[in-house]
Amino acid sequence: MRRLLALATVVAMVGISAVTLQSLVVPALWLGRTLVCGGAAMLVTTLLRTRTRSAGLPSLLGLVTGLLAITAVYFPDDALLGVLPTQSTIRSVVELVPPTLEQMRTSYPPIGTGDGVALLVTAGVLLLLVLAEMLAIGAWAPAWSGLPVLGLWCVPIMLGAPVSTPVLVLAAAAYVLLIAVQARDDTRYRRRPSAASAAATAAVTVTALVAAFALAPTLLRVPVPVRWHPIYELVGSSTTRLDLGLGLRDDLLRSTDSDLFTWTGAEPEQVGPLHAYTVDTFDGSSWSRPDRGELVPFEGQLLWPTPTDGLPSGDPVDIRISVQHLGQDRLLLPGEPRLLDLDTGADYLAAADEVVAHVGGAITYGVRIVPRELDGDRLASLRPPDDVPAELLALPETGYESDIAEVARDVVAEAGAETPYEQLLAIQNYLRDPARFVYSTSVAAPSTPDAVWDFLNDRHGYCVQFATAMVVMARTLGFPARLAVGFLPGEASSDGVVAVTSHDAHAWPQVLFDDVGWVRFEPTPGVQAGPPPEYAPEQPTAATTEPTTSATSTQPTAGRSEATTTTGGQTPATEETSGGSPWLLVLALLVLAAVGASTLATRRARRSPDLRERWDHVLHHLARLGVDVSPTRTPRAVAREAAELIDDDGAAALLRLAGAVETFSYAPRGTALPDDAELTGWLDAALSSARAAHREQRRDRVGV
């Protein structure tokens, strides 16, 4: 009965934990098949456990069963008799794995297709399930069974995928239940709660409750100053893979300065930044990217999200982009209407203005940019479209939306801006003003739940902060805006080949206008991001005279190396704010007090071992031997009866223990008891003898 309960908790724990993979792989792909394979393995394991005491053998056979089930489920055609793997099965697996890995590397989660992915998930879950079961039930070490489960949790955590809290709570509950069900009885740790330990428990509980209900909400509003860097970065080391969970709280970390891709055919100014993704959902501290829109197969058409008919366009620019290692399934695109010259098939996602192509490696493709003719006069006459998706105007509910809106209105009013274009320009130039904002790769510790509000006050940040601030401010004024993520166009070299490195990773805001569609603004200061677009000059009054010759933007390299130097010496921003939160101090004191009280109570409890409790535990074990342990019997009577049933050493220990119990219960107060070590020794001896006798009894019964 208990074994079944334990099995149920193990299965629940692993199963619930496996659900965390849902943000990476669509459950429909693997859940059913994994249940079948895991169920078969558990059935065999459990049946075998009733026959043998070995910990590993049932698990091994269970694993084999699971593998057979996988063969039957995934390769029914290759398998002999439908279950037995053959050579061709193995060949199929070997052939399936490399493309699967490539797919996993290049797809943006959740992955919704591919038997290979499902196979890997099933195999992994099966292995961990068998391992957890072996530890928890076979080896009687339920606590250790958390390790394989932790492995399961590591996958989404390491990949930075969201994990739902209820799932975590449920898995943890199953784990705790498992420990409770399966923990080996150990008498030494079972005692009736003394007054002191009850007090300590109460103290700890009260502390926890205070922390949970009083401090936690406060701390949520005042985010924890201690932060560590997520392992993901804005851009990976050697691929163009971009991280899209762009967090405004994280310092910008850039590893190597390696070339990611090169392109030829034009000047960087003509091309502008190349984006891979656009994101539009912001929660106050980081961006996320919901699945949206419809994929349209690319068949040589001009790619632009809005109709381009009748748009005046400039001279086409032809470039050729050569990516050494495309780390995602999105091609890099310039921010103007363009035609692609592509060898492989691809899909166009108009809503996000992204081109999806599963390449997973080197790719070279041509792009013909058909630039729109944008200038201040034309833009000044345009308005945002009336009918835009709500998410392009959504503001994070942090409680600081109105403050940000007020800043935006002030900025606009100060600049005397009237048209939407002028207003946006005012915001861009407000953020670009080196007297106000400083480019920095490290960000200050949060002081409010709203990272944009923090940035507007702290005024230090890098492109993500600048761009996000502009997006949010634009949205507060009613302009549909989003963030584009990609790369700066890099710098031209003498041979005409432009190399783009990981340092060129960039993010910038896009604002939607009538007729022309998405328009880029560049709020990040020139030292880092180069000059703003020609149509969005820094000095609106000074017309567009030579915006590229401004002092800051001529030497982007120098500026960048400066920034890198700052990065090198940076540390997590803890020191700056170590004295920051009084709540933290209070919490620390409370925890210290609770720990102190608990230690004291434990020590006191240890000083007077409750022999009765231990004896009760012994009685429990003796009862299993068939000894009458009813409360009408004296310790001595019980011990004498039991002594007949267990081996001599155990019997002697048991009688001594009974004697100690008598002394404890009936002798005058203050009578010396045998010391704790001695008692424990007797207890262990008696218990192990009782267990041995019990096992023998059972074996005899089975033998009959």
Partner 1 sequence: MTATRPSTASAGTARQLLDNLRHALRGGEQAIRMAVAVFLAEGHLLLEDVPGVGKTTLARALAASVEGTVGRVQFTPDLLPSDLTGVTIYRQESGTFEFHPGPLFATIVIADEINRASPKTQSALLECMQERQVTVDGTSHALPEPFMVIATQNPVEMEGTYPLPEAQRDRFMAQVSIGYPAEESELELLAAGGWRPGQTTPVLTQAQVTDMIRHVSEVFVSDAVRHYVLALVRATRQHDAVELGASPRAGLQLLALARSVAALSERDFVIPDDVQEVLVPVLGHRLALTRSARSGSTTAADVLEEIRRTLPVPR
User: Does position 681 bind partner 1 by CB under 8 A?
Assistant: no
Q: H or E element: which one contains 339?
A: strand 338-341
Distance between CA atoms of residues 404 and 77, nearest Å:
62
Q: Output the CA torsion sign for 392, 393, 394, 399.
A: positive
Q: Residues with Cβ < 8 Å from 700, sequence gap 6 or more? A: none
Choice between 445 and 629, CB closer to partner 1: 629
Strand 497-501 and strand 281-282: the pairing is unpaired
Tokens 């940019």 belong to 369
User: Does position 648 bind partner 1 by CB under 8 A?
Assistant: no
| Chain-centre distance for alpha carbon 446 | 20
**3-state percent helix, strand, coil for the chain, nearest multiple of 5:** 50, 10, 35
Distance between CA atoms of residues 614 and 41, nearest Å:
40
User: Does position 659 bind partner 1 by CB under 8 A?
Assistant: yes
Phi, psi of 550 (to 5 degrees): -65, 150
CB 492 within 8 A of CB 275: no
Q: Could you say which of 567, 674, 676, 681 contacts partner 1 (CB under 8 A)?
A: 674
Q: Could you say which of 447, 663, 680, 688 contacts partner 1 (CB under 8 A)?
A: 663
For residue 300, the SS3 value is coil
Q: Could you say which of 157, 673, 688, 691 contacts partner 1 (CB under 8 A)?
A: 673
User: Does position 668 bind partner 1 by CB under 8 A?
Assistant: yes
Stretch that binds partner 1, among 244-252, 336-344, 351-359, 660-668 (CB under 8 A): 660-668
Count residues contacting partner 1 (CB under 8 A)?
A: 21
Q: Residues with Cβ < 8 Å from 416, sequence gap 6 or more? A: none
Structure tokens at 191: 């005692």
User: Does position 686 bind partner 1 by CB under 8 A?
Assistant: no
| Chain-centre distance for alpha carbon 39 | 28
What's the min distance (Å) between Cβ of 656 and partner 1?
6
Q: Could you say which of 473, 519, 660, 685 contacts partner 1 (CB under 8 A)?
A: 660
What's the min distance (Å) between Cβ of 684 and partner 1?
18
Strand 438-439 and strand 460-461: the pairing is parallel
Choice between 427 and 660, CB closer to partner 1: 660
Choice between 236 and 650, CB closer to partner 1: 650
Q: Could you say which of 288, 539, 566, 665 contacts partner 1 (CB under 8 A)?
A: 665
User: Does position 662 bind partner 1 by CB under 8 A?
Assistant: yes
Stretch that binds partner 1, among 38-46, 312-320, 651-659, 695-703 (CB under 8 A): 651-659
Residues 504-563 that bind partner 1 (CB under 8 A): none
Choice between 81 and 672, CB closer to partner 1: 672
Choice between 560 and 656, CB closer to partner 1: 656
Choice between 212 and 667, CB closer to partner 1: 667
Choice between 165 and 671, CB closer to partner 1: 671
CB 441 within 8 A of CB 566: yes
Q: What number of other Cβ atoms are within 10 A of residue 211's Cβ?
A: 17
CB 340 within 8 A of CB 367: yes
Structure tokens at 325: 């290692």
Residues 149-188 that bind partner 1 (CB under 8 A): none
Q: Could you say which of 667, 692, 698, 699 contacts partner 1 (CB under 8 A)?
A: 667
Question: Within 13 A of 461's CA, how many CA atoms are on the CB side?
Answer: 31
What DSSP string describes 511-538?
A: EEETTTEEEE---S-HHHH-PPPTTS-S
User: Does position 613 bind partner 1 by CB under 8 A?
Assistant: no
Stretch that binds partner 1, among 281-289, 466-474, 483-491, 653-661 (CB under 8 A): 653-661
Distance between CA atoms of residues 208 and 534, nearest Å:
58
Q: Could you say which of 188, 320, 612, 691 contacts partner 1 (CB under 8 A)?
A: 612
Q: From residue 625 to residue 644, what is the string marking binding to partner 1 with x (rule CB under 8 A)?
A: ------xxxx-xx-------
User: Does position 672 bind partner 1 by CB under 8 A?
Assistant: yes
| Residue (of 307, 338, 343) closest to 323 by Cα position | 343
Choice between 577 and 663, CB closer to partner 1: 663
What's the min distance (Å) between Cβ of 671 and partner 1?
6
Choice between 562 and 662, CB closer to partner 1: 662
Which residues would be at the binding site for partner 1 (CB under 8 A)?
612, 631-634, 636-637, 655-656, 659-660, 662-663, 665-668, 671-674
